[in-house]
Amino acid sequence: MFDTLQDRLAATFKGLRGKGRLTDADIDATAREIRIALLEADVNLAVVKEFIAAVRERAKGAELSGALNPSQQVIKIVNEELVDILGGQTRTLRFAKRPPTVIMLAGLQGAGKTTLAGKLAKWLAEQGHTPLLVAADLQRPNAVQQLTVVAERAGVAWYAPQPGNGVGDPVAVARESIGIAETKQHDVVIVDTAGRLGVDAELMQQAADIKAAVNPDEVLFVVDAMIGQDAVNTANAFAEGVGFDGVVLTKLDGDARGGAALSIARVTGRPIMFASNGEKLADFDVFHPDRMASRILGMGDMLTLIEQAEKTFDAEQSAKAAAKLTGRGGEFGLGDFLDQMKAVRRMGPLSKIFGMLPGAGAMKDQIANIDEKEIDRLEAIILSMTPTERDNPKILDGSRRSRIAKGSGTKVSDVNQLVDRFFEARKMMTALASGSMPGMPGMPGMPGGGPGKSAQRSGKQQAKKGKKRGKGVSGNPAKRAGAITTGAEETPADPAAAFGNLDPSQLDEKQLQQAMGDFELPPQLRDMFKNR
């Protein structure tokens, strides 16, 4: 949704990188470009003016840090101002002291209220609550049936005594649902009300009557993030007619310009509380202004990514896979790889996952072109193997690979490519997990990386002292690395110096063991060097 805005802002910041300091002319030019970018994103004009004035004032002020270059200074200011117009702090639900907590949903027709009711109910159920969905939208055709289907998919209870399709009293349904919730011990009631095609006086009054009947703890205004500034006008009208406590943005995964998201919190004075960014019931998150600002500026959203990973990955399974990579729990096989790949896919589309990584904006085209079907082909190949073959891919000879290719509907070359890439990836992951990544240039303390400059100077100075005291230093680099003689005591040297100027990837197991002295390599790392 924010791709165009992200590109324009990135181009604006890029123009500041070569400058040594910010002049007034630079600030004015940058502010003008940011203003154009926000207007093109359909952000409310009043919000744009306020935003640009704040950025210009801060950029010209005395708060600029000497440790940051001009581009970093402006990005810091813009990020903080974006967080501010998006609401500043994360706002969570207020629960009633005495259950049930009543949440009323309202908004325009087509904004996605009924689906969002199911998403919110599922999210609350995952938090340990027992929500009850109430079908109080009796106007839209099949709205009641849709709510029951969504409730079944979410695995929560629902209350739908009236058939809908223009029949029934929504105020009575909403009122009765509170007693039902108390009787059946549901601690949260979510009331789905009728949408409207515009500012409809009759339906606005109906929403006000429902609010008076159930006295909700939270009234959430559900708005389609793709409709631009009109969302702000509708929100203002609803705030005056009924009132609401928070905003829920839907369809954030769309390709519109996203002006509603950047306008509605500031114009209405109500916080954005939740965001829906997909069609699945799990595509629902608490809205964090700081994380959204980070995404807009192309800096990723690692916290959300980590939270999704924690919900998706099985801790015990991941621990077993990690143990195998370090050689303590057997050998990491294609079966383990398949389990991890499935866990990643449960987090959502790969394009969405990669889009949360810092710097993803620079790889937008590549991320957009990720072929999910390729992952399906990989799964088909692995599932066409026997359990023994998955655990030990080294036994895959020509006849086995031919059989696997036929069973998965792929070519032998596809099987070969998967197996070869798996072995390469396993070597890399094993080395990383063991803390001994070979051939990493410029990484002090890592084999092949060499010590840092200070360690090199220290080593040379100590070697010179050893010669002056008459203590000979062995010409064998392994012995010299094991301990540098400095008189009466021996000081361990940087492990990386054990290889001297040699590339550790060229050493066989015997040479490597000799060079490392008494250091015992993990079995997987030894195998890695054997197979090179």
250 is in an annotated binding site: yes
Check residue 503 and give its pLDDT. Answer: 43
Check residue 30 and give its pLDDT. Answer: 84
Position 288 confidence tier, pLDDT thresholds 50, 70, 90: confident
Residue 275 in contact with residue 249, Cβ under 8 Å?
yes
* Largest interatomic CA distance in the chain: 103
> What are the Cα distances from residue 471, in Å, to 6, 185, 247, 463, 497?
63, 83, 76, 9, 19
252 is in an annotated binding site: yes
Residue 207 in contact with residue 170, Cβ under 8 Å?
no
Check residue 130 and give its pLDDT. Answer: 94
Check residue 68 and give its pLDDT. Answer: 60
Neighbours of 257 (CB within 10 A): 22
Position 442 confidence tier, pLDDT thresholds 50, 70, 90: very low
| 105 burial via Cβ count (<10 Å: 0-12, 13-18, 19+) | buried
Select, from the ranges 4-8, 52-56, 293-297, 315-319, the one with the highest average predicted confidence (pLDDT): 52-56
Round to whole Å and give the CA distance between 418 and 375: 11
514 is in an annotated binding site: no
48-63 per-position pLDDT tens digit: 888 898 888 888 765 5
Residue 72 has pLDDT above 80, yes or no: no
Q: Which amino acid is at 427?
A: K
Neighbours of 92 (CB within 10 A): 11
Round to whole Å and give the CA distance between 38 and 427: 47
87 is in an annotated binding site: no
Residue 218 in contact with residue 103, Cβ under 8 Å?
yes
Residue 38 in contact with residue 5, Cβ under 8 Å?
yes
Round to whole Å and give the CA distance between 204 and 197: 11
251 is in an annotated binding site: yes
Which domains are seen in the chain, by residue range?
3-85 (1.20.120.140), 101-299 (3.40.50.300), 313-433 (1.10.260.30), 453-530 (no CATH)
Cα–chain center distance at 263: 24
224 is in an annotated binding site: no
Position 16 confidence tier, pLDDT thresholds 50, 70, 90: confident
For range 371-378, the mean pLDDT: 79
Strands 272-276 vs 284-286: parallel, antiparallel or unpaired: antiparallel
The reported pTM is 0.61
12 is in an annotated binding site: no
Round to whole Å and give the CA distance between 14 and 33: 12
Round to whole Å and give the CA distance between 270 and 19: 39
258 is in an annotated binding site: no
Round to whole Å and give the CA distance between 252 and 488: 69
Check residue 457 and give its pLDDT. Answer: 46
291 is in an annotated binding site: no
132 is in an annotated binding site: no
Round to whole Å and give the CA distance between 462 and 482: 14
DSSP state of 164: B
346-361 per-position pLDDT tens digit: 776 666 666 666 655 5
Side-chain-side CA neighbours of residue 333 (13 Å): 18
Round to whole Å and give the CA distance between 342 and 322: 16
Check residue 368 and give its pLDDT. Answer: 62
Who wins on pLDDT, 138 or 370?
138
Round to whole Å and give the CA distance between 200 and 184: 35
Check residue 187 and give its pLDDT. Answer: 93
114 is in an annotated binding site: yes
Check residue 171 and give its pLDDT. Answer: 92
Position 120 confidence tier, pLDDT thresholds 50, 70, 90: very high
DSSP state of 276: E
Check residue 34 and give its pLDDT. Answer: 85
- Alpha helices by DSSP H, listed for 15-44, are 24-40
Select, from the ranges 186-195, 427-436, 491-500, the one with the highest average predicted confidence (pLDDT): 186-195
Strands 246-250 vs 131-136: parallel, antiparallel or unpaired: unpaired
272-276, strands of its sheet edge to edge: 157-159, 131-136, 188-193, 101-107, 218-224, 246-250, 272-276, 284-286
Residue 123 has pLDDT above 70, yes or no: yes
196 is in an annotated binding site: yes
163-216 per-position pLDDT tens digit: 888 788 999 999 999 999 999 999 999 999 887 665 667 778 888 899 999 999
45 is in an annotated binding site: no
Closest CA to 115 of 227, 283, 234: 283
